[in-house]
Amino acid sequence: MDFVVLGVVFGPVVLLLISFLIPQGKASRIFIEISAVLFFVTAVYLFVAPSSNMFNLYIPHIVWKLITLLTAVFILVRSILDKHYIISVLAFTQSIILAVFEILNAPEEAVPFVSFNYDGKVLLVAGSCITAFFVPVTLIYLKKYFSQKKAVKKQEKQVEAGILLLMAAFAGLAAANSFTGLFLFWQWMYIAVRLILRAFQSSERKTAAVVLVVQQAALTVWMASIPFIYQKTGSVYINSLDAGFGESRVVVAVMAFALTIVSGCLIPDKNIWQDYFSVPAPVSGIITLIMSVLSPVAVLLKFGFLFTGLNNIILTLVIIFGSLIMAGGAYYSCVSRKAAQILQGILMSAAGWGITTVFVSRESMFFTVGYTAVSSITITFLFACITILEYIKGTQDVEQMYNLHKEMPEMAFFMSAAMLLFLFAPFYSALQRLLYVRFLAENPVSMLLTVTALVLVSAVIFRWLSVLLSAGDKTSIERDAYPDVFRVILPLFFVFTVAANLSFGSIYRYFRQQPIPMGSLAAENIETYSELEGFLYMLKPGKGLIYAVGVIVVLAACFYILQRFGKADKYTGNTDSRVFYHYSLTAWIPAWVNPGLILRAAWISLAAIIAGVALSCLK
Amino acid sequence: MSEKRSASLLSKLSGFKSMGFELLLMEASEADNKITVNYLLEKEGQFESVDITVSENTVVPSVTLVFPRGDRMEKDIEQRFPVSFKRKSDEMPHEEGYSLIDWGPFHPLLPEPVLFHILMKDEVIKKASVETGYNCREVEKLCAGRKVWDIPGILEKVSDANGISLSLAFASAVEEINAIDIPQKARWIRMIINEMSCVNANLQGLYNTAQCLGLYGDSVRISKLVGLYREAAELICGHPLLFGIIEIGGINKDIAKDSFYAANAVLQEIENELTDIRKKWESTAAIAKRLRTTGFIDSETAMTASGRLARAAGNAVDSRKYSKLPYTDLSYTVQVREESNCYARTMLKFDDLSQSFRLIDRGIESMPKGEVKQEAKVKKSGEAIAREHGADGEVIVRVRLKRDTVESLFFRNDTSVNISFLPGCLEGTELTDFPLIVSGFDLDLSGMEK
Amino acid sequence: MSWLDGIRAKSISVLQINAGGCTGCTRQFQAALLLDSGKGITLTGNPRHADVLFVAGCINNKSADYLRQIYEKMPSPKAVVAAGTCACDGKLFRGEDNGISTLDEILPVNAYVRGCVPGMDEMLETVINVVEDGYKEYKDG
Amino acid sequence: MLEVILWFIGIIIIVPVIYLAENIILSAIPGQNRSYPIQPIYRLIKHFSKTDLYNRPLTRWFPVGACVFALVTLFFVSAGENIMLIISGLVMMELFILVGACSTKEPYGIMAAQRGISRLTVWSFALMIAAASLYKAAGTLKLSLAIQYSGESILLSRLPLVTAGLFTAAMIKGNLGYFDFGINANTMSFLDTALYTPYGGRSLGFVQLTQWIETGIWLKLISFFLPWQPLISFLVSAVFYLAAMLLNAVVPKMTWKKVMMNSWIWAGGLPAINYIWLYML
């Protein structure tokens, strides 16, 4: 088993254990920052280096199983201490099944237990870069946050531990090859999120608890289904699934899908998100990015082959569900005024994109991976920006960003550049590729939903841009409130974001050169597909480079002018400019229409239909 | 001002209200650092007057608790005299998520300068307040101390809508004091002139409404009609706005009947065009719907209102009832509608127009021959209140004469009553409907602010 | 008259403002626009789109500030036309202490149209001439 | 290449011609204001001959950027490029105009920008659905390839509602008829659209030039769906647009929320219905 992979998966955990030893404070923050950077470096190494068998070390399966069992037991104990008895019951069942089936029955595990394929590597790089750049910002922010909240050090430590565990779980999910592995790493994800949420008591709400319970229930079902799958196929190795069982693969596929949706909390319903929204901006950003965007896509990519073989009904339904998530995210980004919530919505939309297109064809899979990675990096950058804003100005309200170009010109410039880079994915490249994606193009409903989502997202970005680019009069902050760490990190992150946006074409090419791993898929009209032009997501970096450089230069010029002559010159007799708040983009919808309600009804009924169809396939 | 006195004042006023009296006008006068506020109450032509004398910079209880229509008059007094009224302030609260914008004072859809402060969210008005004083010329002050003979010439220029009615009212007040009875023909001509000025004002109101509805073509048509009207007016007295004809004791030049006939022909032309426009507005669903859905005022509010606002709510206020002009010799009905929204007001404008046309027509028919002016000797001092039919309601003039000089002059039109209800009516409406509602109130601010 | 002024005079957007008082003059101008001699003159509600500021009525201290603001918002070259007795020399309503001022005390006036109310054709001719003469400011004598 | 250049010029020319026709017809109708036949052009020259005065420095540059984008997009249209390219060009152009309006920091300017953003969602939705159904019907996104299908009137027969929706979107962009997003309820005339409240002088000239070009782009886009010769179908769409402009004078204005509803129903709903209906065939 590749040592590096193990390093990626287990490194954070080890570091986590160490971080509990070192005292709380600056030391531990630096420590975690170092570990995040290490994580990033290792991931990049994994991506560029051919899988080296130099230092292999073999971990017997029993170790993995014991780890799994320990995790389950830990959750059991923890939940009993927290008096979450439902969860404890579920955890108990899980551990029983694990003990009986995995350890006594001792099925043949996947070899290797964790390994990355190409999609996984890309996502891993994206996620690790997010953590590397975003975690320090988060930590500095949290320091201030907790000091204001007069919270005990314990909570800060909880969050840090949670972040570390989140990394580990994500790496594991991207790498896991067996059902047990998926179970294990989803559990880690669960623990991490739980840790983080516990740190902010305010978000310990009812629905949060409900969501956690549902996640555990899904995991239990998953665990319980493993023995049956083992009976059918004789292994718990994911890729060995299509051997053997016939129609009931539908059930497995739907189960995998459902597990991903539930544990990724990818449900287009405001009430369910809110508990993740209500934690401070950066933390909610990290959770959404890792748990709701990258991990689900990474997991579903593993099951892609399962879906492509399926009958169209179930696939259609699943795709519609994905596009529903997309539309829902876009809608919620429209209605919310806080920058963090807007970004959350856009992230949800991106995740929905991934889920919509991931099953469909190899080409679109490549595109999806790239799109998910790049857009999540771009949005993380925006997250970092608004985190710093909230750190300095105490507000992340979009309305308050009028004179940002005076207070923090470089940040305003970075933000708008990133937005413009993001803007062209929907408007130029995406739709073309959607049209070439077979199932999506044959699916008018999901197509309409997708287009709506694209339009709404771009409208939100427009509103934001129009605020950023408009001049204000007075500056309200003092510059020395701007920590030097930010001065270093922000430009670095920006450069990386632009690079990621531009280099997507080469990532795409890199994919096409790779020998296709796991069950091969027919790539329909691959030639036309790869010939599609686009400003950003193109094969050759030529056009994209010109476009992006052009955008950045123009913006820089704009901001220079704003800086230079920005203040109200010529005449100031403008008494009619009073307080002005922007409209909500859905103000025109009549009162008797409630899109949130419609969305809820839609996803519930869709879920029901999917379940029904899946069960009907069981003969 | 002590609790006891204010309580007694309010109880007295509410007592009058329970007897069916309505506040007609409020006036203040200053004498050796004492300010006397005078409430004039009226019920079917009989007057009751309540006075209260306070020293400077005292807070007087607001009459709006009893008579809501007194709001604007109190503001007028506050502007001129060092007293203040205990009224709930119309300060704009600044709220999170609500935009605070100004509308006016100069806007293409506002015929007269007035400033609105609007607190709104997503273009739905939450609170609105009116700020006036942009065409305040202190006419009353200017008139005080002048000779009687100059005053009609000033008053008729005060406002386009009600100027003629004002100077007519003034003339009849002076004539009442000095017991001058003017020749019959002059009375009839005055009546015709008054109605014509009403026609002018209502045409302007319709023009404004058409503009607010975004009906470019119709607004152009109506302003063509305004041009026609001015031709008619010039035919009668040589001035497009009928200026310079009213005089104490009659009118200052005889007008041949033929010129009236000629003018009437033009007016008929206008009427035909108007009926055409009215048909279009009634039959076009979009227009009728938009007018019907805006500017609703509940009935008990409208009961305290006056003029066309009240008539649109089914409250038959006859503004011609106390006029000195020979309306009583002609039979006419008070135009009333029930809906009390912009549609009712707009259609009432059409009704009033056609009524004015009819009155003018019959007035010309039944105009006697004879003198139009008799030698007026203004010697007596005294005080009189004259009420005259104006374009959208009633104008009231209160004159105190010392021989032939005006000691004090006070006048008000219905706008000063109705504008108090405007902010309440605006709440909860769309910003785009807002000018439409304002035009439905047909404000005559220059007549109100003097 | 340069060719540019000739072209400008063929498309004049007038922002007419009734600063206060009877609305006779502005109404008169609206009616006048329908005459053939009013060709090319359009009303606009937006100072940024306007070429000629057409002011009528009495100007008191309160409305004077707003007039200045509106004038500043107009893109130059721009002209100001004072219409009617009130705006030209506030004769009738101008007392010692009632704060009424004439237009030329507030803005640089390019042309006056006197009379109460001025004739339609006069108004139109004045507006067109002001533009044709290249927005020259009015000089006495 | 020559053909492309000819189209480029033709599209730029057609819009003033439409305005002239409108002017002539309106001044012929009794009860409408009298104006010179080529007053729109006079007005444009006048605007360019004026300075623009803002308290915000960037405001006068955004319209220039918008104009540049419009020209580029116009070139793409006349070359029959990929429709998505055209859409993104139009969107970018709109962005520049809206940001310019927003950057004045005057309430009515910001209101205009807000409405513009809401408006953007409608017409970009219509355009993207139109693109999708074009691909469904013709199998390509390149207009120059799609036009051969339209020649055999396949497009119009399969995408009638899309064409109607596109035309409605063009009306929305022109603030015509029931689709008027103007600020003050009376938009004096088409070239004086109140959505451009904060612009004045030279930059207003640029904005209006942009709008001319944009209208031409829309007309050309619509003409791709019409079955006749390219020139003829272009003229036909122009005539339709002229009719819409003449209608504008007699249609009452509504609140922008109702306008928004109408726009979604007509510009968003029709293409969507047509798109779904394509699968029923």
The pLDDT tens digits for A25-71 are: 677 777 777 777 877 887 777 777 665 554 556 667 777 777 888 88
- What number of other Cβ atoms are within 10 A of residue B282's Cβ? 15
State residue A202's pLDDT score.
57
Suggest the residue from A423, A567, A577 to mutate for an interface test with chain D (most D CBs closer than 10 A): A577
D184 contact B CB<8A = yes
Residue in D92, D82, D85 with CA at minimum distance from that of residue D138: D82
Determine if the peptide bond prior to B66 is cis (ω within 30°).
no
* Residue of A571, A572, A577, A578 to mutate, testing the C interface (most C Cβ within 10 Å of its Cβ): A571
Contact A571 D121 (CB under 8 A): no
Contact list, C10 vs chain D (CB under 8 Å):
36, 39, 42
Higher pLDDT among residues B449 and A440, named by residue: B449
From CA D171, how far away is CA D245, in angstroms rounded?
9
Mean pLDDT of chain A: 75
Instruction: Provide residues of A within 8 Å CB-CB of chain B.
Output: 337, 575-576, 578-581, 583-584, 587
Most confident of A603-617, B236-250, D98-112: A603-617
Contacts of D85 in chain A (CB under 8 A): 428
What are the phi and psi torsion angles at D118 (to 5°)? -60, -40
Task: Note whether B102 contacts A575, CB cutoff 8 Å.
Answer: yes
Whether A144 has a pLDDT exceeding 60, the answer reads yes
Q: How many domains does chain D have?
A: 1
Find which of B137, B164, B203, B444 to mutate to test the C interface (most C CBs within 10 Å of its CB): B137
- Cβ of A572 within 8 Å of Cβ of D57? The answer is no
Check whether A521 has a pLDDT greater than 60.
no
* The predicted structure's pLDDT at residue A605: 92
**pLDDT value for A530:** 52
Which region among A276-280, A418-422, A511-515 has the lowest average model confidence (pLDDT)?
A511-515
Q: What is the band of A517 on the pLDDT scale with cuts at 50, 70, 90?
A: very low
Q: Do A444 and D84 touch (CB under 8 A)?
A: no
Residues of C in contact with D20 (CB under 8 A): none
CA distances from D121 to A268, A463, D103 (A): 21, 11, 20
- Touching partners of D (3+ C-beta pairs < 8 Å): A, B, C
Contact residues, chain C, for A576 at CB < 8 Å: 69
Determine the Cα angle at C62 with ends A574 and C128, to 5°: 75
Tens place of pLDDT per residue across chain B (450 aa): 677 777 777 777 777 777 777 777 777 777 777 777 777 777 777 777 777 777 777 777 777 767 777 777 777 777 777 777 777 666 666 777 787 777 777 877 778 888 888 888 877 888 888 887 787 777 777 777 788 778 888 888 888 788 888 888 888 888 888 888 888 888 888 888 888 888 888 888 888 888 888 777 788 888 888 888 888 888 888 888 888 788 887 778 777 778 888 888 888 888 888 898 888 888 888 888 888 888 888 877 777 778 888 888 888 778 788 887 888 778 788 888 888 888 888 888 898 888 888 888 888 888 887 777 777 777 777 888 888 888 888 888 888 888 878 888 888 888 877 888 888 888 888 887 888 888 888 888 877 777
Specify the pLDDT at position A178. Answer: 79
Query: Which residue did the predictor score with more confidence, D82 or D6?
Result: D6
Q: Are A284 and A122 in contact (CB under 8 A)?
A: no
CA-based end-to-end distance of chain D: 38
Higher pLDDT, A61 or A296: A296
pLDDT band for position A168 (cuts 50, 70, 90): confident
Both structure tokens of D186: 């009376």
Predicted confidence (pLDDT) at residue A289 exceeds the cutoff of 60: yes
* Chain C contact set for B442 (CB, 8 A): none
Is D255 in the A-facing interface, judged by CB distances under 8 Å? Answer: no
Q: What is the pLDDT of residues A234-279, one digit of tens each?
A: 667 776 666 555 666 777 778 888 888 888 888 888 777 766 667 7
Q: What is the pLDDT of residues C23-34, one digit of tens each?
A: 888 888 887 877
Q: How far is A509 from A288, CA to CA, in rounded Å?
A: 29
For the domain made up of C3-131, give the CATH fold: Rossmann fold (3.40.50)
Residues of C in contact with A571 (CB under 8 A): 72
* Structure token pair of residue A514: 């790779």
Write the ipTM. 0.82
% pLDDT > 70, chain A? 68
Whether pLDDT at A569 is above 50: no
Judged by CB atoms within 8 Å, which residues 110-149 of B form the interface with A?
A: 121-123
Using a CB–CB cutoff of 8 Å, tell me whether C31 touches chain B.
Answer: yes
Contact partners of A by the rule of 3+ C-beta pairs under 8 A? Answer: B, C, D
Tens-place pLDDT, residues A571-590 = 444 444 456 677 777 778 87
Residue A231 has pLDDT above 80, yes or no: no
Measure C3 CA to nearest chain B CA, in Å.
Answer: 31
* Partner-chain residue, chosen from D85, D103, D115, that has the shortest CB–CB distance to A470: D103
The DSSP letter of residue A98 is I
The mean pLDDT of C8-20, rounded to a whole number, is: 83
Q: How far apart are the first and last CA of chain A?
A: 39
Alpha carbons A460 and A353: distance in angstroms, whole number: 17
Rounded Cα distance, A250 and A256, in Å: 10
Interface of C with A in 64-123 (CB under 8 A): 65, 68-69, 72
Q: Extract the tokens encoding A125.
A: 């790089």
With 0-12 / 13-18 / 19 or more C-beta atoms within 10 angstroms meaning exposed / middle / buried, residue A344 is buried
At D250 the pLDDT is: 73
Task: Check CB contact under 8 Å for B137 and C58.
Answer: yes
pLDDT of residue D185: 40
Q: In the predicted model, is pLDDT for residue A541 greater than 70?
A: no
Question: DSSP 3-state assignment of D130?
Answer: helix
Q: For residue A263, what pLDDT is reported?
A: 84
CB pair distance less than 8 Å for A579 and B99: yes
Position A572 scores a pLDDT of: 44
Shortest Cα–Cα distance, D43 to chain C (Å):
6
pLDDT of amino acid A257:
85
Cis preceding-peptide flag for B152 (omega within 30 of 0)? no
pLDDT band at A21 (very low <50, low <70, confident <90, very high): low
Name the percent of chain C lying above pLDDT 70: 90
Mutate to test the interface with C, among B132, B134, B207 (most CBs of C within 10 A): B134
Query: Nearest-CA distance from B287 to chain C in Å?
Result: 22
Residues of chain B positioned with their CB less than 8 A from the CB of A575:
102
Give the structural domain span for D63: 2-280
Q: For residues A326 and A349, give the distance between their C-alpha atoms in angstroms, rounded to a whole number.
A: 4
Q: Band of the pLDDT at A546, cuts 50, 70, 90?
A: low
- Inter-helix orientation angle D256-263/D107-138, to 10°: 10
Distance CA A303, CA B268 (A): 84
Q: How far is CA A295 from CA A289, A565, B418, in A?
A: 8, 47, 66
CB B42 within 8 A of CB B21: yes
Classify the phi-psi angles of B413: left when phi > 0, otherwise alpha if psi is within -120 to 50, otherwise beta: beta
Phi, psi (rounded to 5 degrees) for B246 = -80, 145
Q: B120: which DSSP letter?
A: E
A200 has a pLDDT exceeding 80: no
Q: For residue A91, with 0-12 CB atoms within 10 Å meaning exposed, 13-18 middle and 19 or more buried, which class applies?
A: buried
Classify residue D206 by its DSSP letter: H
pLDDT in tens, A339-397: 888 888 888 888 888 888 777 666 666 667 777 888 888 888 998 888 888 888 777 77
Q: Which residue has the higher pLDDT, C94 or A505?
A: C94
CA gyration radius for chain A?
24
Across the interface, whether the CB atoms of B97 and A579 are under 8 A apart is answered no
The predicted structure's pLDDT at residue A429: 63
Return the residue of B nearest to C17 by Cα: B106
With beta carbons less than 8 A apart as the criterion, state whether A562 and C57 touch. Answer: no
Kindly report the nearest CA distance between residue D90 and chain C, in angstroms. 25
Among chain D residues, the shortest Cα distance to A559 is held by D58
Task: List, in order, residues 6 or more apart from A609 with CB less than 8 Å away.
Answer: A317
Chosen for mutation from B101, B107, B117, B293 (greatest number of chain A CBs closer than 10 Å) is B101
B101–A578 C-beta distance less than 8 A: yes
CA gap B289, B306 in Å, rounded: 25
Q: What is the DSSP letter of C103?
A: G
Q: Which two tokens stand for residue A338?
A: 């806080």
